[in-house]
Amino acid sequence: MKALMVYISVHHGNTEKVARAMAKILDADLVQVKQVDAIMLEQYDLIGFGSGIYFGKHHESLLDFVDKLPVVKNKKAFIFSTSGLRKIPFVHDFDKPLRKKLQRKGFDIMGEFSCRGLDTYRATKLVGGVNKGRPNAEDLKQAEDFARDLKNSGDSYLNQILLSN
Ligand SMILES: Cc1cc2nc3c(=O)[nH]c(=O)nc-3n(C[C@H](O)[C@H](O)[C@H](O)COP(=O)(O)O)c2cc1C
């Protein structure tokens, strides 16, 4: 299973740490959103999309990139992020805008991963930020476990296709 991860990590490089941990397990190519061309995606079976969370959603440049993609067929995707606050369904479901856009483009979403990241935005700066030291070793281990699960389910999916052909 060939994997690509498209990300942007502008605040403290938090999401980049998570992206690198996952890419190692998935043996994925890792590219920043400003360096990626939609045509590149054609070569991959699985594509990860990730960034920090800004005003309740993924980074605008990642959302814009997805908007410009053509509709795809038989492409798997996953979503990842780091954020100041934890995801709370219906209240702070910051994956929703990206999830909806990917689904509208025909991606089959295999999973979503999120962990806390150092946040020094606004008043939090006065106390040196919140979530100090995060993503930490435990967060990165969980990111690796998530990637391992993706790899296993992706491989069995490809095997099923090969067997049925
Ligand atoms: C301008 C700004 C807006 C943010 N908005 C949110 C938000 O709405 N919800 C949240 O949980 N975290 C928010 N954060 C915290 C970031 O999501 C968090 O620090 C993240 O780990 C940054 O990732 P990065 O270093 O990869 O860019 C915000 C941070 C900044 C600088």
> Cα–Cα distance between 111 and 50 in angstroms, integer?
12
pLDDT bin (cut points 50, 70, 90) of residue 129 is confident
- Report the domain count for the chain: 1
Digit-coded pLDDT (tens) for 130-152? 999 999 999 999 999 999 999 99
Query: What does DSSP say about strands 46-54 and 57-58: parallel, antiparallel, or unpaired?
Result: antiparallel
| CA atoms in the 13 A half-sphere facing the CB of 56 | 8
Residue nearest ligand 1's atom 15 by CA? 84
Ligand 1 touching residue 84 (CB < 6 A): yes
pLDDT bin (cut points 50, 70, 90) of residue 1 is confident
Question: Which atom from ligand 1 is nearest to the alpha carbon of 86?
Answer: 11
| CA atoms in the 13 A half-sphere facing the CB of 4 | 18
Q: What is the CATH classification number for the domain harbouring 71?
A: 3.40.50.360
Digit-coded pLDDT (tens) for 28-71? 999 999 999 999 999 999 999 999 999 999 999 999 999 999 99
Ligand 1 touching residue 81 (CB < 6 A): no
Chain-centroid distance, C-alpha 114:
8
Question: Which atom from ligand 1 is nearest to the alpha carbon of 10?
Answer: 27
